[in-house]
Copies of this chain bind each other. A is one copy, B any other.
Amino acid sequence: MDLPASFGLDEPVDVDALTTALTTALDGRWGELRRGVRAQMATAVVRDNSDLTTEQYRQRVFDDLHLLAKTGPARFGFDPKYGGMGDPAASVVAHEMLGFGDLSLMVKAGVQWGLFGGAVQLLGTRRHHERYLRDIMDLQLTGCFAMTETGHGSDVQHLRTTAAYDPATAEFVIGTPDPAARKDYIGNAARDGRMAVVFAQLIVDGRSRGVHALLVPIRDGDGNPMPGVSIEDCGRKGGLNGVDNGRLSFRDVRVPREALLNRFGDVGEDGRYSSPIESDGRRFFTMIGTLIRGRISVAGTAGSATKRALAIAVGYSNTRRQFERPGGQGEVVLLDYQAHQGKLLPALATSYALSFAQHELVGGLGELSGEGPRDERQQRELESRAAGIKAVATWHATATIQACREACGGAGYLAENLLTTLKADTDVFTTFEGDNTVLLQLVAKGLLTNYQSQVGDLGTLATARFIAEQFAGAFIERTAARGVIERLLAAGPGRDGETVLFDRAWQIRAFEDREKHMLDGLARRLRRAAGLSGDGNGVDRGDRGDRGDRGAFAIFNDAQDHLLRTARVHIDRVVLEAFVGAVERCPSPAARALLSRVCDLYVLASIEGDLAWFLAHGRLTAVRAKSVTGAVNALCELLRPHAQALVDAFAIPRPYLGAAILAGAGS
């Protein structure tokens, strides 16, 4: 198709100014912080780690971690009273920037300061902060986050390590009851960690209080395992081999009463359990909720790695030539081929979209981390969005880095061109810090229950009952840029025919309408599960016997694809709103014009990927559906001359773009 116009993109621009304006938009409100980290990274000497043994690589990363300990990322997230900077949002942004570099180092830092240190900060109280935070920041105390077990990864609530209180000695006894209860995949465990935050079922006075976290020393000063602690090495992995993942088992390991990270649950000197949160389930989800920054960090670093891959693949495709142009006018540059544009440019547009969505997440984290009363519903909503965007961003990373590798052919397979390492290192992102499929189910559950604070501990059937009783129809709650979006929608349809596809209001409505339709349909299906499972009161009591319960499982299970797709289209809409807001905020007319078309490409490529839904539900006619594909192709062609500026605007520090193919070695 022909585009309705060139949208002014064919006018001459100052490319440097345009690139700078795009970078400013991508930096968001953390421009100063990012410029600082960038300046630091610009002087780095990047070494090739691809042929190191696991032990050599671990040593190198541990050395680099000590250098990093002297910088901001080690301190942003911690209490200023102990030398921290009290800015969790900055911590996440700094990690995102580290994502341009060696991802083993980024993960190692994330384990030490984000997961381990973060748990001490957020689940512990003053006695832990005073004693440990300084040592954690400066690496005097290295630690692990020992949550996942071999038998329970996604289902943390049912992990089986125990911490039984012994009132006689005022100690907790940590135990691994069976092999499936060993802690597994634990970063820092195989080699460097001296202590672990161990998540265990807390048993006080014979009664289980659910999962709590305790500080447990795992190695002595000489690096040997503490008595009763068994440590295994997970060995080589698909990537991130600078991180020492290991397994921990405990046999009657005793730690003092004060080892319990007791912000949300404590055992007093009198041996009694107490908690500010009565419900075991709600307490559990509150504790888990504090760890949200890990997921936001993963989404951010996945974004950085993806940008790095795109910068390499777009840069190479912009110079590499293959096959004569008909008529003998030299060979064609790869990025001039429609198929090549199709591999890279929609992905590039999605990377822009996810960057802006990430801004909203980090902004939300900053707001909720402030002083003052916490809005619990807002917290749940942010957790849900963090889960969903983490899933979407990490799948985008996996698919895009793969596409970049293939777009560079054989050159893309050489370690010197960085793409295979990026692929290998990011590959686990889709399943760690929450398996993506499980995370999307959480998102859908949040939508169905409108983030009611009490649903955290609702099981499947209770969720069904909740839906049956309370779900009154999908409600589209706008997120970012609420005012802007309402203004755009109020302006009404400005176009018709093919050009309506480029109408922002039409685009927003298309995403909202799809989400609402899917959510309503999903609620209708799941309500039936409530009916099958009991009389409305007997839910979760299991008093209807085997038959009804299996029926309810089947209804939920049969709707799983519907559930996952609903979560997905919800996140698509949240991401689009963030993009719309960023376009509107952009002060440079040239950059805004370009971003606006990048937003079009994000939207239309997304619709093209889901075209069957739009057709089957009468939202697009066959003719208009075909014009969606035409529009995607036309946008790729329109944006192609700006592709280099769009990746240059990522402002990736030079040392991290040292791919041989970008140095012209391949041409």
Contacts and interface: CB of A to CB of B under 8 A. Distances in A.
A665 to B, nearest CB: 8
Contacts of A151: 321, 667
A412 interface: yes
A395 B503 CA distance: 36
B154 A234 contact: no
Given A615-B616, A667-B180, A326 B533 contact: yes
Contacts of A423: 238, 427
A617 interface: yes
Contacts of A553: 325-327, 332
B415 A152 contact: no
Given A151-B667, A561-B629, A410 B431 contact: yes
Contacts of A51: 53-54, 235-236
Tell me which of A51, A459, A612 has the highest count of chain B C-beta atoms within 10 A of its own C-beta.
A612
A322 interface: yes
A652 interface: no
A165 interface: no
B405 A342 contact: no
Contacts of A286: none
Interface in A647-667: 666-667
Contacts of A431: 406, 409-410, 412-413
Given A235-B414, A337-B560, A428-B413, A324 B180 contact: no
Interface string A36-53: 000000000000101101
Interface string A130-146: 00000000000000000
A252 interface: no
A564 interface: yes
A600 to B, nearest CB: 18
Contacts of A234: 414
Contact of A420 (B158, B326, B427, B435): B427
Contacts of A667: 150-151, 180
B323 A155 contact: yes
A192 interface: no
Contacts of A327: 461, 533, 542, 546, 548-550, 552-553
Interface of A: 48, 50-51, 53-54, 148, 150-155, 158, 180, 184-185, 234-239, 321-329, 331-332, 336-339, 342, 398, 402, 405-406, 409-410, 412-416, 419-421, 423-424, 427-428, 430-432, 435-437, 459-461, 533, 540, 542, 546, 548-550, 552-553, 556-558, 560-561, 564, 611-612, 615-618, 622, 625-626, 629, 633, 666-667
- A-B pairs, top 4 by smallest CB distance, nearest first, are A238-B420, A327-B549, A611-B612, A236-B415
